[in-house]
Amino acid sequence: MLRSTEPAAKAAGQRRRAGATVVRRGRPARALAAAAAAALACGLAACSSSSSSGGSSSKGSIVFADVAPFSGPDAALGPAYLVSCEGTANAMNKAGGILGHTVSCTSTDTKGDPADAVPAVGSLLSRTPNLALVIGCTSDEAAAVVPIINSHKTVMFCMTGQLEFDHVHFPYFYRLVPPDASESYAMTVIAEDLHYKRIALAFGNDIGSQTFVQPAISAIGKAGMTLVANETLDLNATTFRTEAEKIVQAHPDAIMTEALGSADPTLFAEIKQLNGGTMIPIIGTSAAILPAFYTASAKAIGAADFAANFHADNLVGTATSGPAYQTFTQALLAVKGKVANAQVGNFSTYFGQPGAVHLYDGMNLAALAMVAAGSTDTAKWQPYIISIADGVPGAVVVTSFAQGVRELKAGKKIRFIGPGGATTFDPFHDSPGLFVIQTYSATGAVQTTGNISPAQYNALAGG
């Protein structure tokens, strides 16, 4: 059953308070963990009575929870992850479920704000005794909610790029995407490849977007480019004419940007208008690979103009073919039209959306770990995640849940390699992949036009 257990979104004015303080990712994770723990102790005492196993051991349904923004400026992220969850759960249930348990998906709206995310996650944990896995946990809220989910001993696969998670170990935290600083380097490589010399920055004032700014400034300098403008966009605003004027007057060759919701499309329209009807080229982050983003941007400046002037890095470093990709796309297509708020634009865009891809891989790793352990008790199945992800000597490579179950039943060791490619987890449970360069066609189809080599990346990422 496809559902969201959160109440309907409140009025836009209630989603995010204007002028709210933006939490920078540079804030130490230990401090954020303490703040989250304090909030939990004050208002979420019910969570402490939840099962410490974080899993389900009785027959019936087990739950995967999508913890992400479903309202506010980053509202497109939650539905994208939910498409992946519902498609994955449906495929697993067709294969017999996990040890006889059916898999269902639920969602928790964090509104992209730590202040809203902490009580929302507390409610999720207290009301969901059969919770097996959390997915999502974006950069907007991860630093606040990861400590809470970790204290509940619940495995999570998160989409945060915050640097704190590179050096602070949370035992139940896993990440298949690189730190956000890496995307700043990747965007700069794209600018180099396109021979741009003068760069403008335009990033939202939310937690996630602001993390790109300082690494981008550093990378631009290392590449010998000139930073000509650096604008911060208030995601609650309805116009960015002042910022657009500054960017146009700076005469950049390109604009590096991430400002989700309506912010970027509004900025693009105003830049084109102020620039005499000519659009300045755009370099976006992987968050721009979303149907809703393409639709809004194409409407703002015209589909052909947007497609001709847009590039983005993406975290998906695998070919768009082969058995893993085919199984993944079939799983998502099976729930097309069945997930609320996820049907804007070209559905095939989800096939390259980082969250849809990497969370699909994470859910399959978790499910196969449960099958390998013969248990849905987190303490028993969690240790299998690394061995199934990274592989062990003699392991058989599998590309789907159903294939993995067959091989495990045959007594074999397995290594799962999904559409996101092979994993190699470090001691902090990070397994970043390689970057590709992507564009849109005029109809909204995502096109991969190149790869970013380790040498290009390291030239900018080095000290």
101 in any annotated domain: yes
Are residues 188 and 276 located together in one domain of the fold?
A: yes
pLDDT confidence band for 198 (50 / 70 / 90): very high
Which pLDDT value is given to residue 117? 97
pLDDT confidence band for 319 (50 / 70 / 90): low
Higher pLDDT among residues 428 and 57, named by residue: 428
Q: What is the pLDDT of residues 82-109, one digit of tens each?
A: 999 999 999 999 999 999 999 999 999 9
116 in any annotated domain: yes
Please identify, among 128, 146, 177, the residue that sits at the C-terminal boundary of a domain: 177
**Lowest-confidence region among 109-113, 327-331, 353-357, 432-436:** 432-436
- Checking phi first, is residue 114 left (phi over 0); if not, alpha (psi -120 to 50) or beta? alpha
284 in any annotated domain: yes
Residue 150 is part of a domain; what is its CATH number? 3.40.50.2300
Which pLDDT value is given to residue 190? 97
Structural domain boundaries, residue 214: 181-314+434-461
Which pLDDT value is given to residue 318? 56
Q: How far apart are CA 145 and CA 23, in angstroms?
A: 14
330 in any annotated domain: no
- Specify the 3-state DSSP secondary structure of 261: coil
232 in any annotated domain: yes
- Specify the 3-state DSSP secondary structure of 330: helix
424 in any annotated domain: no
Residue identified by tokens 């935290």 is 173
Tell me the average pLDDT across 206-223. 93
Are residues 91 and 217 located together in one domain of the fold?
A: no
Are residues 171 and 302 located together in one domain of the fold?
A: no
Are residues 130 and 217 located together in one domain of the fold?
A: no
- Specify the 3-state DSSP secondary structure of 89: helix
pLDDT exceeds cutoff 70 at 316 = no
Q: What is the pLDDT of residues 337-376, one digit of tens each?
A: 888 776 667 888 889 888 999 999 999 999 999 999 999 9
Q: How many domains does the chain have?
A: 2
Beta carbons of 81 and 355 less than 8 angstroms apart: yes
Tell me the average pLDDT across 394-418. 97
pLDDT exceeds cutoff 70 at 26 = no
Tell me the average pLDDT across 264-279. 98
Residue identified by tokens 């993406």 is 314
Are residues 70 and 151 located together in one domain of the fold?
A: yes
* Percentage of the chain modeled with pLDDT above 70: 85
Please identify, among 150, 177, 204, the residue that sits at the C-terminal boundary of a domain: 177
- Which residues, in sequence order, are bridge partners of residue 414? 396
Which pLDDT value is given to residue 10? 32
351 in any annotated domain: no
Are residues 127 and 83 located together in one domain of the fold?
A: yes
Which pLDDT value is given to residue 285? 94
456 in any annotated domain: yes
- Which residues, in sequence order, are bridge partners of residue 312? 284, 438
Write the single-letter amino acid at 112: G
| Tokens at 382, concatenated | 């969690």
**Lowest-confidence region among 45-59, 216-230, 271-285, 360-374:** 45-59
Are residues 102 and 242 located together in one domain of the fold?
A: no
Side-chain-side CA neighbours of 374 within 13 Å: the count stands at 3
Looking at mean pLDDT, say which of 14-28, 66-80, 119-133 comes out highest.
Answer: 119-133
Higher pLDDT among residues 24 and 190, named by residue: 190
Are residues 36 and 169 located together in one domain of the fold?
A: yes
- Helices 354-373 & 77-94 angle (0-180, nearest 10): 40
Look up the pTM and report it.
0.74
Q: How far apart are CA 401 and CA 368, in angstroms?
A: 7
Mean pLDDT of the residues in the chain = 86
Which pLDDT value is given to residue 45? 37
Are residues 152 and 186 located together in one domain of the fold?
A: no
pLDDT exceeds cutoff 50 at 279 = yes
Beta strands in 302-431 (DSSP E): 310-314, 396-398, 414-416
Are residues 27 and 128 located together in one domain of the fold?
A: yes
pLDDT exceeds cutoff 50 at 52 = no
Please identify, among 158, 177, 196, the residue that sits at the C-terminal boundary of a domain: 177
Q: What is the pLDDT of residues 156-187, one digit of tens each?
A: 999 998 878 888 899 999 999 877 788 999 99
Are residues 32 and 168 located together in one domain of the fold?
A: yes
Are residues 118 and 150 located together in one domain of the fold?
A: yes
Which pLDDT value is given to residue 23? 32
